[in-house]
Amino acid sequence: MTVDFHSHTSESDGTLPPADLVARMRARGVGWFSITDHDTVRAYEGLDIAGVHVVTGIEINTTWDGNDVHILGYNIPTAPSPLGEMIARNRDHRRARIERMVAALIAAGYPITMHAVLAESGGGHALGRPHVAKALVRAGVVRDVQAAFDELLSHGRPGYVPSTHVTPHAAVEAVLASGGVPVLAHPGRLRDEAIVDEMAAHGLRGLEVFYPTHTAAQVAYYRAQAARLGLVMTAGSDFHDPRWNPRGVGMDVAPDDIRPFLDLVA
């Protein structure tokens, strides 16, 4: 069964317009999918999803004990809700953080402007570090986006500014209060896995077990964790761009593995 419950468009830090991403899902034969842009659901406005199973989704950036933790929310409303108020605050934080990054880079002598960063966002709803990275690439400062992160935007580098997003606890609460299903994204990228147990006790409903960079051993481990904690399993490509994600969209999973999640959101 081919599904994809984690993907991004140009409304956040992806590069494809929502309609183009949906076209790729259809071409790949993805039966069920979600667009999970960071801190915005604007990709769903006016989207043609006839003939496909789409679960409304979002990825909420959160901060916990100095670590970045991403919460996915499914079956969420696109109308005003407690979640909508939270992600609006997160978007304001994103803008302020990017402005501080640009100011730090300018002070360090790099040729970048806020105007250039906004141009890279293409009018998207939620700014992010990839937009700064792309502006640096376009200005000829670095060779590619990864180099921008490694040399200028990561911890200890000239353009790094720590994030102070909402907590994962608050994100889980807001998703639940809005009638949605909260899931912890890509646990293999966590710096401290103690958050998994803590979030499970705080109302988390699922774990993104099937993820492109998870090894077979990690999949087996997170499968066991999900069973131990009573969490459903999800799968997502985390697709942003054809150049960054050469595997494209879609994850092939056994129907029995994904059915408990589908039962929650169908």
What's CA 224's distance to the chain center, in Å?
24
pTM score, whole prediction: 0.88
Q: What is the pLDDT of residues 224-233, one digit of tens each?
A: 999 999 999 9
Q: What percent of the chain has pLDDT over 70?
A: 100
Higher pLDDT, 164 or 72: 72
Q: Tokens 């604007």 correspond to what residue?
A: 42
Confidence check: pLDDT of 87 > 90: no
Q: What is the pLDDT of residues 145-190, one digit of tens each?
A: 999 999 999 989 999 998 878 999 999 999 999 999 999 999 999 9
Q: pLDDT band for position 1 (50/70/90)?
A: very high
The domain made up of 2-84+168-265 has a fold known as TIM Barrel (3.20.20)
Angle between helix 129-138 and 82-107 (nearest 10): 30
Q: Give pLDDT, residue 70.
A: 96
Q: Where are the beta strands (DSSP E) in the chain?
A: 2-4, 32-33, 53-54, 57-64, 67-74, 181-184, 206-210, 232-235, 251-252
* Token pair of 152 as six digits: 């200028």
Q: What percent of the chain has pLDDT over 90?
A: 77
Q: Are 265 and 56 in contact (CB under 8 A)?
A: no
Q: Give pLDDT, residue 246.
A: 85
Q: Do domains 2-84+168-265 and 87-153 have the same CATH topology?
A: no
Q: What is the pLDDT of residues 233-250, one digit of tens each?
A: 999 999 999 888 889 999
Alpha-carbon separation of residue 44 from 47, 226, 264 (angstroms): 5, 29, 20
Higher pLDDT, 124 or 258: 258
Q: Give pLDDT, residue 50.
A: 77
Q: Give pLDDT, residue 224.
A: 98
Confidence check: pLDDT of 51 > 80: no
Alpha carbon distance 159, 130 (integer Å): 12
Q: Give pLDDT, residue 230.
A: 98
Confidence check: pLDDT of 48 > 90: no
Angle between helix 82-107 and 114-121 (nearest 10): 140
Q: Give pLDDT, residue 79.
A: 78
Q: To 5 degrees, how large is the angle CA 120–CA 84–CA 7?
A: 50
Q: pLDDT band for position 127 (50/70/90)?
A: confident
Confidence check: pLDDT of 124 > 90: no
Contacts of 239 (CB under 8 A, 6+ apart): 4, 6, 7, 8, 14, 21, 24, 245, 248, 249
Q: Give pLDDT, residue 208.
A: 98
Main-chain phi, psi angles of 66, to 5 degrees? 80, 5
* Token pair of 177 as six digits: 């209060």
Q: Are 78 and 55 in contact (CB under 8 A)?
A: no
Q: Give pLDDT, residue 243.
A: 83
CATH number of 87-153: 1.10.3470.10, 3.30.1490.190, 3.10.310.50, 1.10.150.650?
1.10.150.650
Q: Give pLDDT, residue 163.
A: 82
Q: Give pLDDT, residue 78.
A: 82
User: Domain ranges in the chain?
Assistant: 2-84+168-265, 87-153
Q: Give pLDDT, residue 81.
A: 83
Q: Are 140 and 164 in contact (CB under 8 A)?
A: no
Alpha-carbon separation of residue 92 from 39, 42, 105, 124, 155 (angstroms): 10, 15, 20, 13, 22
Confidence check: pLDDT of 4 > 90: yes
* Token pair of 4 as six digits: 């994809």
Q: What is the pLDDT of residues 104-123, one digit of tens each?
A: 999 999 999 999 999 998 88
